[in-house]
Amino acid sequence: MLFNSLTFALLFLPVAFAGYHLCCRLGSAPARAWMVFMSLVFYFWWNPPYVLLLLGSIAANYAFGALIQRSEPKPRLQSAALALGVAFNLLLLCYYKYFFPLLHFLEGIGLHFVSHPGSVILPLGISFFTFTQIGYLVDCRGGVARGHKPLDYSLFVTFFPHLIAGPILHHKEMIPQFGDPATYRFNAANVRLGVSVFLLGLAKKTLIADNLAQAANKAFLRPENLSLLGSWHGALAYSLQLYFDFSGYSEMALGLALLFNLRLPPNFDSPYKSTSIIEFWQRWHITLTRYINLYIYNPIALRVTRTRMAEGKPLARAGLRTVSGFCSMVLYPTFVALFLAGVWHGAGLQFIIFGLLHAVYLTVNHLFRILRHKHGKVEPDTAWHVIAGKVLLTYLSVLVAQIFFRASSVENAIALLKGMIGLNPNPPMAGWREMFALDHGFAPVHMAGSIYEGSMWAVLILFCIVWGAPNILQIFSNEQPALVGPKTPWESALRWRPSLAWGVVLGLVGGIAFLAMGEPTVFLYFQF
């Protein structure tokens, strides 16, 4: 079920909300049980048999977690249980996400292992709930997670606002909320806040992201037909689509959780305003970055550091200034972590390139920082043109990687990139009059040689919003809709408050967004 579907808005959500607050009157356990039940209904609605897969995964992981906790006095047994649990999760993920694409890939290069490799429907959210649970098992081993009840654990994994596309939750931020009696008291302030955040997220999805989809899809369908201008238009349209789609989803998830008195971690904080790639990953898919750091990057970096310490090699800043130190303490863990992040996003060479490109960017960014420190430049830049240049450079780097992220193949991505540097045969500015015409808005623009969709003006206006407007965390910073506030505070009288003006504005925005829900489209992150 999609958050932006009429079934969800008119049927599922009212039932889930009313049922939850009725159950709260009976106690916290019935309320939690109701939410688990409704979350399973939410999943069941999409593909009933896969509810068994989800339940099986939860049961197995809970059992592994319990075994790991109980075997604390026996470290070998504990490690074996952890390895078994992680292997179980990875096998499940590999089977559904990578096994059949791999067979098809091998068949494509002439290696036939089976006569007709079939396919399997990818269970929605499998990457998310698998990662969430692997993290839980690792924390059981580290003694961080212990003594959780099955109902709490089930709710932690299945809670429907995050089940399909994140944020990737950490048990330490959710399970304590399940134990708080305030969670089960009707809180009108949270409902007001939740409805407001949800409606703004819905508007981003239905009014902006979905309208950009046509332009992006057209561009990636046959990029070799595009002119230089058309290639840029298509790439920028996709970049904006991804931005508004993911931020819309993240905000709808925050808003929905608030209706049930729960706060989720923020997942999106104006990433295109970042002045470096390091900052970008602190603002884009924040919980994935945190997960990768916690469970992949840090353990590798820690092991490297211990090894270097044992060998008597320099550590910290002094170590990073040596080639071997930089390679082992930054380059190696970064490449491993980002390679896995790329693979996590999908089975395809283009996702690996996406991950490795970001690994290169991050490595260069870290190197640059080290060199700055070495030359005594520790103060951040304040000149506007330097900051603007950094934002632009960061964005362009991200854009190149996003083209691989969206493309159907590496060749597809390269064809668009070639168009963006003017290597396609079409005249570079073909169609500029139509693209800059003022009379068609988002309506299709047909041009010689190919068909583009959408106006360049729409793209430019949206970039003004992306770079100039405050984000949801900032607009609602008085009320803090997420567990953590925005990276950059926003001081303005225009910040949200439950006023008449805000009520009317949100009603109008929400009303228009509701009217656009007739043809719900999936969120881009659902495919992961």
Partner 1 sequence: MATTQAPAPRRSFLTIVAATMAGLVAVTWLWVIDNPRSCISPDSGTWIAKMQMAGGHLPAGRVIILGDSCTAADLAPPLLGNKVIDLGLSASSPIESYFMARRLLKTNTPAAVMVYFRPIHFENGSDVFLFESSAKFGLINTADLETIRRLSRNLNDPTLFGSPTPFDSDARLKDYLLPHRFPAYYFGGIVEGRIGGWKQKSLQEQAYTILTRGFCPTERDYKALILDPGPIMETFRPSPVVDDYFRQTLTLFQERHIPVYFASMPNTPASFKALTPEAIAGYTAYLQQMAATYPVFKIVGDVFTSMPNEYFSDATHLSSAGAVVCSQRTRALLSAAGVDLGTADARWKPPVRNASGYWVR
Which residues are identified as catalytic?
345
Q: Does 508 bind partner 1 (CB under 8 A)?
A: yes
Q: Does 44 bind partner 1 (CB under 8 A)?
A: yes
Judged by beta carbon, residue 316 or residue 461, the one nearer partner 1 is 461
Neighbour count for residue 431 (Cβ, 10 Å): 23
Q: Distance between CA 373 and CA 302 in Å, rounded?
A: 23
Tell me if 410 sits within 8 A of 349, measured CB to CB.
Answer: yes
Q: Which helix (H) or strand (E) holds 314?
A: none
Q: Which helix (H) or strand (E) holds 170?
A: none
Q: Does 116 bind partner 1 (CB under 8 A)?
A: no
- Minimal distance, residue 414 CB to partner 1, in Å: 21
Q: Distance between CA 454 and CA 215 in Å, rounded?
A: 6
Q: Which helix (H) or strand (E) holds 446?
A: strand 444-447
Judged by beta carbon, residue 362 or residue 506, the one nearer partner 1 is 506
Q: Does 516 bind partner 1 (CB under 8 A)?
A: yes
Sign for the CA dihedral angle at 104, 105, 108, 111 comes to negative
Q: Does 527 bind partner 1 (CB under 8 A)?
A: no
Q: Which stretch binds partner 1 (CB under 8 A): 53-61, 135-143, 261-269, 509-517?
A: 509-517
Judged by beta carbon, residue 9 or residue 254, the one nearer partner 1 is 9
Give me 279's structure tokens.
């900052």
Q: Does 15 bind partner 1 (CB under 8 A)?
A: no
In this chain, which of 386, 446, 461, 469 binds partner 1, going by CB under 8 A? 446
Judged by beta carbon, residue 46 or residue 100, the one nearer partner 1 is 46
> Which residues 6+ apart lie within 8 Å of 452 measured at CB?
215, 218, 219, 226, 230, 233, 234, 431, 434, 435, 444, 445, 446
In this chain, which of 227, 450, 474, 477 binds partner 1, going by CB under 8 A? 450
Tell me if 263 sits within 8 A of 481, measured CB to CB.
Answer: yes
Q: Which stretch binds partner 1 (CB under 8 A): 6-14, 78-86, 147-155, 359-367?
A: 6-14
Q: Does 490 bind partner 1 (CB under 8 A)?
A: no
Q: Which stretch binds partner 1 (CB under 8 A): 305-313, 353-361, 379-387, 497-505?
A: 497-505
Q: Which residues pair with 268 in a beta bridge?
A: 284
Please report, as a single letter, which amino acid is at residue 231: S
Q: Does 39 bind partner 1 (CB under 8 A)?
A: no
> Which residues 6+ apart lie within 8 Å of 48 measured at CB?
none
Tell me if 502 sits within 8 A of 496, measured CB to CB.
Answer: yes
Residue 257 Cα distances to 62, 151, 269, angstroms: 23, 18, 18
Helix axes 150-158, 126-141, angle to 10 degrees: 140
Q: Does 14 bind partner 1 (CB under 8 A)?
A: no
- Contact track, partner 1, 48-77, x by CB under 8 A: x-----------------------------
Task: Give how many residues touch partner 1 by CB under 8 A.
Answer: 48
Tell me if 197 sits within 8 A of 254, measured CB to CB.
Answer: yes
Judged by beta carbon, residue 8 or residue 238, the one nearer partner 1 is 8
Q: Distance between CA 412 and CA 225 in Å, rounded?
A: 12
Q: Does 45 bind partner 1 (CB under 8 A)?
A: yes
In this chain, which of 171, 192, 205, 366 binds partner 1, going by CB under 8 A? 192
In this chain, which of 123, 506, 524, 525 binds partner 1, going by CB under 8 A? 506
Q: Which residues pair with 453 in a beta bridge?
A: 444
Judged by beta carbon, residue 1 or residue 86, the one nearer partner 1 is 1
- Minimal distance, residue 173 CB to partner 1, in Å: 27
Judged by beta carbon, residue 310 or residue 500, the one nearer partner 1 is 500
In this chain, which of 143, 484, 498, 527 binds partner 1, going by CB under 8 A? 498
Q: Does 438 bind partner 1 (CB under 8 A)?
A: no
User: What are the φ/ψ torsions at residue 322 (nearest 5 degrees)?
Assistant: -100, 155
Q: Which positions lie near partner 1, rule CB under 8 A?
A: 5-7, 10-11, 44-48, 188-189, 191-192, 195-196, 199, 442-443, 446-451, 493-494, 497-504, 506-508, 510-512, 514-520
